[in-house]
A and B are shown apart, each in its own frame.
Chain A
Amino acid sequence: MKLQRKNGLRATALGALAVTGALVLTACGSDDNTSSNGTGAGKATAASNISCEGAKGKLLASGSSAQKNAMDLWVKNYMAACSGVEINYKSSSSGEGIVAFNQGTVGFAGSDSALKPEEVAESKKICKSGQGINLPMVGGPVAIGYNLSGVDDLTLDAPTIAKIFNNKITKWNDPAIVKLNEGKSLPDKAIQAFHRSEDSGTTQNLGKYLGATAKADWPYEAEKKWPAPGGQAASGSSGVAAQVKQVDGAIGYFELSYATSQSIPTVSIDTGAAAPVKATSENASKAIAAAKVKGTGKDLALELDYATKAEGAYPIVLVTYEVVCDSGNKSDTLSTVKSFLTYTASDEGQKVLSDAGYAPIPVEINAKVRETVAGLN
C-alpha cells in the first residue's frame, strides 16, 4: 500500500510538472504571436484585407522548401487575420509534397516543378471528380551562392557553372573564371561544389537552365535527382546553404532567400546581356514575365525561357506551384484552401514576396490563378 501511495504521489508530481511545462510553453507561444503582430505593423495592415470566409480548423500542407520562407510569411499574416484557423506547411521537398498530396494527407502541396503526367493520373484517385492542377504562386531566383574569402561580386556564365558542377573546373583561379572576372585576384583554391542529396525541384530547375544554355557542358536530363558524378551533397536548401556558409571555397545553389537570410554572396550571371545580371527578385521577375502557360484547362503550369538575354533578366529562376484538385477537393479543407490561396494570389499576398527575396507572379498569369482559385470546388 505504502509503495503504491508513493507511486501515486510521484505520478501526481509528474503530471503537475507536465501541466506547468505545457502552460509555460503555451505562454511563450502566445507571447511570440503578439510581438510579431506588434513589430510587423506594415504586414498587419495588409493582413486586415484577408477574407476568412468559410475558413476553419486545421489545414495541412507540405512540399517545396524553396517557397518555405514565403509560406512562413503568408501563414503568419493569414493566421493573424483569421483566428481559429491553423495552417501547417511542412517544408520538405517538392517530391515529398506531391507524394503526400497524392496520398490525400494534405490540403495542398507546394512544388517547384509541375506535376508529371503519371502524377496527374495518380491524383485522380484523390480528386474524386477532377485532377491535380498547378497554380504558379511564387517566383524566385535560384542563387548560386559561394564562399571565397576576399572575393565579392563574382561573375560566371552558364558553361562555367556547368563545368564547375560537373567537376571539369576544380580551381577558383581556372582561366575560364579569371576571364569572366578580370581585375579580381582569385585564389589558387579548390572548388567544393555542393548539391542537393535528395530529389529536388531546385535541382531540376538548375538542370533545365544548364541544359538550355550550356548543352555541351551539361549533357544530363533535367531531373529532380542530381545527375552529375562527384561533388558533395547536403540535405535540403538549408543544408546546402549551411555547407556553403561553413566551407571556404564552396559553391552551391539554393533559393535566393536562403542567401539573403544568411548573407551568403551570390554569383552574377553573364547571360550575354550588356552587363552581368545579379540575383535579385526584380531581375527574376523580368525573366518570369516572359513565361508562357503550357498547362491545359485549369492547369497553369508555366514554360520559362531560360536562355533569355534580356537586359537585367536573371535566367536561373524557378516558379513554385501550389498543387490542388481542380474539383473534388476534400470538403473539410476546401474552404480553408480557397480562402488561403485567395490571399496568397492577392495583391497583398504577392507584395509580401519581394520583401522576402522572391519574385511575384506576372500580372496576367496571376489573374488566371485568382480565377482558378475562385472556381475550386
Chain B
Amino acid sequence: MVSTTPIEPMDSPPPGPAGAVTGALAARSAGTGRAGDKVFLALSRGSGIFLLVLMASIAVFLTYRAAIALAENEGNFLTTFDWNPAGNPPVFGIAVLLFGTVVSSVIAMAIAVPVAVGIALFISHYAPRKLAGPIAYVVDLLAAVPSIIYGIWGALFLVPYLEGLNLWLDHFFSWTYIFEKTQIGVARSLFTVGILLAIMILPIVTSVSREVFLQVPKAHEEAALALGATRWEVIRMSVLPFGRSGVISASMLGLGRALGETMAVATVLSPSFLISGHLLNPGGGTFAQNIAAKFDEANELGRDALIASGLVLFVLTLLVNGGARMIIARRKEYSGANA
C-alpha cells in the first residue's frame, strides 16, 4: 500500500484503510477506461483475496479436525508426555514436541544467525569482488539441496563425527547441565538436529542479510569513512544499524524453515516421548518430525491428533512472525523505506 503512494495523483485520498485505496484505484482505472488496468486490478485484487481465503481455509480445516481429536483425547493435550491416539483410551500430548521444536530451532538460530551475518558482511564489505560472487552463489546453492539429502548427510556423516564434540562438551561443560550427557548413545539428539537446521537455514538468512547490507546508502558509509572510521567502525555504526530490521526479518524467515523442517529431522533424530534438558542425550521430537513419522500408519483419530499438533505448529509460526513484525515495526527508523 505504501509503495503505491508516489504514483497516485495528487488529488487522491491519502493511503488509509484498504477500502479507500481500492476505491481510488477503481476510480482511476474507470477514468482512463483502459482494459488492461481493469484486468490487472481484478487480477491483483483476486490474488490478495485468494491468499486470505487460503489461509483462512487452512486454519478452519485444522481447527475442525483438531477439535474432533481433542474431544476424544483422554490425556491432557498440553502436558501429556505420550502419543498414543490408537491406544485405549487414546492419549496424546504435545509437550515433548513443543519443547523439541522450540529447542532445536533456538539452537539453529543461535548458530546460524551470527554465521550468516558474518558471511553476509564478508560478501558485501570485505571480499574482493571476484570472490564475493562465487561465495554468494555457493551459499544460495545450499538452499537448493533437498532436505532429505541433508537428512542422509546428517545421519551418515554428521552424527558419527559429532560424537567427539559431544564427549568434549560433556567433559568440559557438563556443569552447565544442558551439555551433561547422562544417557549413552550416538549423537542423534536435539543438539545435532539444531546444528543441521542451522546449516539448512544459513542460505536464506545470508542472502537476505547480504541484500540488506548492500542497500546501505553509500553516503552513510562515506560519511563515516570521512570522519576517520575504520572499516569495522563503519560496519558497526552504519551498516549494522541500517540492516538490523532486515537481519531480523531474514532470521524469522530462517526460523520459519527451522520450525517446520521435517525430513532432515526425522532422519537424524532418535525420537522419544521424554523431555530432557540434557540436550546431548538422544531423544525428543518435533511437530513436523512426529507428523511425518506417524501419519502413514495413523488411524482416523491418529490423523486428527496429528492435525491438532499441526495446528499448534501453525499458531506457533504465526506468533513468531507476528512477534518479528512487531520488533521490525518498532525499529522502523532504520528500515530501508525511510533511509
- Chain A interface (Cβ within 8 Å of chain B)? 92-93, 95-96, 98-99, 170, 190-192, 197-199, 223, 225, 229-235, 243, 246-247
The reply to whether B297 and A199 form a contact with Cβ atoms under 8 Å apart is yes
**Cβ-defined partner of A232 (8 Å) among B86, B282, B298:** B282
Interface residues in B54-88 (C-beta closer than 8 Å to A): 84, 86-87
A98: chain B residues at CB < 8 Å are 297
B335: chain A residues at CB < 8 Å are none
B160: chain A residues at CB < 8 Å are 246
B132 at the interface (CB under 8 A from A): no
A-B interface pairs (CB < 8 A), number: 56
Q: How far is the CB of A312 from chain B (nearest CB, A)?
A: 35
Known: A192-B185, A225-B84, A235-B293. A99 touches B270 (CB 8 A): no
Q: A232 CA to B268 CA in the complex, in Å?
A: 12
Known: A232-B270, A233-B271. A192 touches B184 (CB 8 A): yes
B298: chain A residues at CB < 8 Å are 99
The reply to whether B271 and A197 form a contact with Cβ atoms under 8 Å apart is yes
B169 at the interface (CB under 8 A from A): no
The reply to whether B296 and A230 form a contact with Cβ atoms under 8 Å apart is no
B183: chain A residues at CB < 8 Å are 230
Known: A230-B183, A232-B185, A232-B282. A96 touches B296 (CB 8 A): yes
A190: chain B residues at CB < 8 Å are 184
**Cβ-defined partner of B296 (8 Å) among A92, A192, A232, A233:** A92
A232: chain B residues at CB < 8 Å are 185-186, 188, 270, 282-283
B294 at the interface (CB under 8 A from A): yes
B142 at the interface (CB under 8 A from A): no
The reply to whether A192 and B297 form a contact with Cβ atoms under 8 Å apart is no
**Cβ-defined partner of B272 (8 Å) among A93, A95, A191, A233:** A233
In the complex, given contacts A197-B270, A232-B282, A232-B283, what are 20 additional A-B residue pairs having Cβ atoms less than 8 angstroms apart? A92-B297, A93-B297, A95-B296, A95-B297, A96-B297, A99-B298, A99-B299, A170-B184, A191-B184, A199-B294, A199-B297, A223-B87, A225-B86, A225-B87, A230-B274, A232-B185, A234-B270, A235-B266, A243-B186, A247-B186
Q: Interface SS of chain A: helix, strand, loop or mixed?
A: loop
A99: chain B residues at CB < 8 Å are 296-299
List 30 A-B pairs, Cβ < 8 Å.
A92-B296, A92-B297, A95-B296, A96-B296, A96-B297, A98-B297, A99-B296, A99-B299, A190-B184, A191-B184, A192-B185, A192-B186, A197-B271, A197-B293, A199-B86, A199-B297, A223-B87, A225-B84, A230-B183, A230-B272, A230-B274, A231-B272, A232-B185, A232-B186, A232-B270, A232-B282, A233-B270, A233-B272, A235-B267, A247-B186
Q: Interface SS of chain B: helix, strand, loop or mixed?
A: loop
Interface residues in B275-307 (C-beta closer than 8 Å to A): 282-283, 293-294, 296-299
Q: A191 CA to B184 CA in the complex, in Å?
A: 8
A243: chain B residues at CB < 8 Å are 186
Q: A299 CA to B185 CA in the complex, in Å?
A: 43
A191: chain B residues at CB < 8 Å are 184
Chain A to chain B: the 7 pairs with minimum beta-carbon distance, closest first: A95-B297, A190-B184, A96-B297, A232-B270, A96-B296, A232-B282, A233-B270
Q: A82 CA to B339 CA in the complex, in Å?
A: 74
Chain B residue at minimum C-beta to C-beta distance from A227: B84
Chain B interface size, as a band, is: 20 to 34
**Chain B 184-198 per-residue mask, 1 if CB under 8 angstroms from chain A, else 0:** 111010000000000
Chain B residue at minimum C-beta to C-beta distance from A95: B297
Q: A223 CA to B294 CA in the complex, in Å?
A: 15
Q: How far is the CB of B274 from chain A (nearest CB, A)?
A: 7
**Chain B 171-215 per-residue mask, 1 if CB under 8 angstroms from chain A, else 0:** 000000000000111101000000000000000000000000000
Chain B residue at minimum C-beta to C-beta distance from A92: B296
B272: chain A residues at CB < 8 Å are 229-231, 233
Most chain-B Cβ atoms within 10 A of its Cβ — which of A197, A243, A247?
A: A197
Q: How far is the CB of B160 from chain A (nearest CB, A)?
A: 7
Chain A residue at minimum C-beta to C-beta distance from B298: A99
B293: chain A residues at CB < 8 Å are 197-198, 235
Chain B residue at minimum C-beta to C-beta distance from A250: B186
B267: chain A residues at CB < 8 Å are 235
A92: chain B residues at CB < 8 Å are 296-297
**Chain B 75-103 per-residue mask, 1 if CB under 8 angstroms from chain A, else 0:** 00000000010110000000000000000
Chain B residue at minimum C-beta to C-beta distance from A189: B184
Q: A87 CA to B266 CA in the complex, in Å?
A: 29
Q: A98 CA to B296 CA in the complex, in Å?
A: 10
Q: How far is the CB of B175 from chain A (nearest CB, A)?
A: 22
Q: How far is the CB of B196 from chain A (nearest CB, A)?
A: 16
B297: chain A residues at CB < 8 Å are 92-93, 95-96, 98-99, 198-199
B184: chain A residues at CB < 8 Å are 170, 190-192
Q: A191 CA to B293 CA in the complex, in Å?
A: 26
B185: chain A residues at CB < 8 Å are 192, 232
B271: chain A residues at CB < 8 Å are 197, 233
**Chain B 215-227 per-residue mask, 1 if CB under 8 angstroms from chain A, else 0:** 0000000000000
Chain A residue at minimum C-beta to C-beta distance from B296: A96
Chain A residue at minimum C-beta to C-beta distance from B82: A225
Chain B residue at minimum C-beta to C-beta distance from A192: B185
Most chain-B Cβ atoms within 10 A of its Cβ — which of A95, A98, A232, A233?
A: A232
A246: chain B residues at CB < 8 Å are 160, 186
Most chain-B Cβ atoms within 10 A of its Cβ — which of A92, A191, A229?
A: A229
Q: How far is the CB of B286 from chain A (nearest CB, A)?
A: 13
B282: chain A residues at CB < 8 Å are 232-233
Q: How far is the CB of A344 from chain B (nearest CB, A)?
A: 23
Chain A residue at minimum C-beta to C-beta distance from B81: A229
A234: chain B residues at CB < 8 Å are 270
Q: A92 CA to B294 CA in the complex, in Å?
A: 12
B266: chain A residues at CB < 8 Å are 235
A231: chain B residues at CB < 8 Å are 272
Q: A51 CA to B63 CA in the complex, in Å?
A: 52
Q: A95 CA to B302 CA in the complex, in Å?
A: 12
B299: chain A residues at CB < 8 Å are 99
A93: chain B residues at CB < 8 Å are 296-297
Chain A residue at minimum C-beta to C-beta distance from B266: A235
Q: A243 CA to B186 CA in the complex, in Å?
A: 9
